[in-house]
A and B are shown apart, each in its own frame.
Chain A
Amino acid sequence: MPAGLRTVILLSFVLAVGFLLIILSCALWQNWLPLLVALTFVLAPLPNALFSHCGSDDLATSYDNAGPAVDLGRFITSIFVVTGFALPIVLAHSEVIDPKACAMSIVGGGLVYATIMAYSAAFSQEDSDYD
């Protein structure tokens, strides 16, 4: 349990750093469009989480034989992730935001998304341990 606690504290710290980078990339140039990146990366795991319980029953334990709903969730998640990376690049390309703001928001968004992924992975690991 101390290891889990340490993991939670570390992940929350990384999450805070990610949000700090995104908000800084907005506030330093007084242009709040990169905040959309945070929104995108927060929303990115949502379709996967929603659809993962859709198509599978308890008997079908096979990982790969997921239904089309699971596929749709993965598809939309992938779209969200690519959108999160592409949006600042596009905005920087048309000089709406500064290139440095673009880099900061991408790094911050990546940190946020990695945090969410690592958090869910750690929790699923603990669930399977205790089952």
Chain B
Amino acid sequence: MFSFSKFPQQNWVRTPVEIAVRVETQVQNDAEGYSHGVSSSPSTLHLPQLSPSPANRPSPSRISHMSLPRANYDPRRVCLNPFPEFTLGKHRRTVGVYLAGALFALANWTFIDAAILSAHAKAPWGDPDNDPPVHVSFVDWIPGICSLLGYLVINLIDKDRVRGEDGFGDSRAVWRARLILFIGFALMAGGLAGSVTVLVLKYILKGHPEQFAYYGYANVSQSVALMLSAVVLWIAQNTSSEYEYNLTL
């Protein structure tokens, strides 16, 4: 329950009408874990000679007691349009986890495919001088390893810590969790950037044919699929929580 009042501004002296709007928010959790806000807003008009009652003023103690604001009043929201809701029904957590696992495996198999292909790219028979110009070396493995480490770090974090409700738990813990989360995302982004770097510096700028540039493309798609997998897993594990928490982008 929270209420806020709109008091007349200074230039509204001609029409000193005080409007107090009280918004009541009820939260119901149904079986799907949604939180619906049922709001009723009776607005009362106070005559100007009436002294405004202190109950209608937005005192800080009342605001701190508000339970679960509606999504429209989410103070963390930055974008005008909120993140789209995923409505996959009651299976959405399961589907998300399966999808994340599939993307994870797909990412790693893409790169392993390139590595196996490179290891089996031998010189044509009878022409030992015509070796393949480039091979997958350890440099190609580094971005994937960075991405994998970042994936691990992101998924080892307690999601409730990152959410960071004030007055709940230790604020230092929230700070540390956010730092570790940042390190994880930085590792993943570094893996993506590194894979693009390897693609450009090792394969495109050297002018290798498309057959060998595939190694670089596989590297980039590995990093991209790992990021997608992390995002899908994050969303899937957050949608079914009690509080409606979206990635406030």
Contact residues of A with B, CB < 8 Å? 62-66, 68, 71, 74-83, 86-87, 89-91, 93-96
Q: A64-B33, A86-B109 are in contact. Are A81 and B117 (CB under 8 A)?
A: no
- How many Å lie between the Cα of A40 and that of B239 in the bound state? 31
Query: Could you tell me the distance in whole angstroms from the C-beta of A81 to the nearest C-beta in chain B?
Result: 7
Query: Could you tell me the distance in whole angstroms from the C-beta of B34 to the nearest C-beta in chain A?
Result: 12
- How many Å lie between the Cα of A95 and that of B98 in the bound state? 30
The contact sample of 13 A-B pairs, CB cut-off 8 A, is A62-B31, A63-B90, A64-B90, A65-B240, A74-B94, A75-B97, A75-B98, A78-B98, A81-B102, A82-B105, A86-B105, A90-B109, A91-B116
- Across the interface, do A82 and B109 meet the contact criterion of CB distance under 8 Å? yes
Write the B89-121 contact mask toward A (1 if CB under 8 angstroms, else 0): 011111001111110111001001100110110
Query: Could you tell me the distance in whole angstroms from the C-beta of A74 to the nearest C-beta in chain B?
Result: 5
- Across the interface, do B240 and A95 meet the contact criterion of CB distance under 8 Å? no
- Across the interface, do B116 and A94 meet the contact criterion of CB distance under 8 Å? yes
- How many Å lie between the Cα of A69 and that of B94 in the bound state? 12
Residues of B within 8 A of A66 (CB): 93-94
Majority-rule SS of A interface residues:
helix
- Across the interface, do B97 and A78 meet the contact criterion of CB distance under 8 Å? yes
Question: Which B60-102 residues have C-beta < 8 A from chain A?
Answer: 90-94, 97-102
Query: Could you tell me the distance in whole angstroms from the C-beta of A32 to the nearest C-beta in chain B?
Result: 17
Residues of A within 8 A of B233 (CB): 75
- Across the interface, do B237 and A79 meet the contact criterion of CB distance under 8 Å? no
The 6 closest A-B pairs by CB, nearest first: A78-B101, A82-B105, A86-B109, A75-B101, A79-B105, A94-B120
- Across the interface, do A96 and B106 meet the contact criterion of CB distance under 8 Å? no
- The chain A residue sitting closest to B33, CB to CB, is A64
Pick the contact of A74: B31, B101, B117 (CB < 8 A): B101
Q: Name 7 extra pairs, CB < 8 A, besides A65-B33, A94-B116.
A: A74-B94, A76-B101, A78-B98, A79-B101, A81-B105, A82-B101, A94-B113
- Across the interface, do A93 and B105 meet the contact criterion of CB distance under 8 Å? no
- How many Å lie between the Cα of A94 and that of B115 in the bound state? 10
- The chain B residue sitting closest to A81, CB to CB, is B102
Pick the contact of B113: A79, A80, A90 (CB < 8 A): A90
- How many Å lie between the Cα of A76 and that of B101 in the bound state? 7
Query: Could you tell me the distance in whole angstroms from the C-beta of B6 to the nearest C-beta in chain A?
Result: 41
- How many Å lie between the Cα of A82 and that of B98 in the bound state? 10
Residues of B within 8 A of A86 (CB): 105-106, 109, 113
- The chain B residue sitting closest to A96, CB to CB, is B120
The winner among B32, B92, B113 for most chain A CB atoms within 10 A is: B113
- How many Å lie between the Cα of A76 and that of B104 in the bound state? 10
- Across the interface, do A64 and B94 meet the contact criterion of CB distance under 8 Å? yes
- The chain A residue sitting closest to B99, CB to CB, is A78
Query: Could you tell me the distance in whole angstroms from the C-beta of A21 to the nearest C-beta in chain B?
Result: 22
- Across the interface, do A90 and B94 meet the contact criterion of CB distance under 8 Å? no
Q: A66-B93, A82-B109, A90-B112 are in contact. Are A75 and B104 (CB under 8 A)?
A: yes
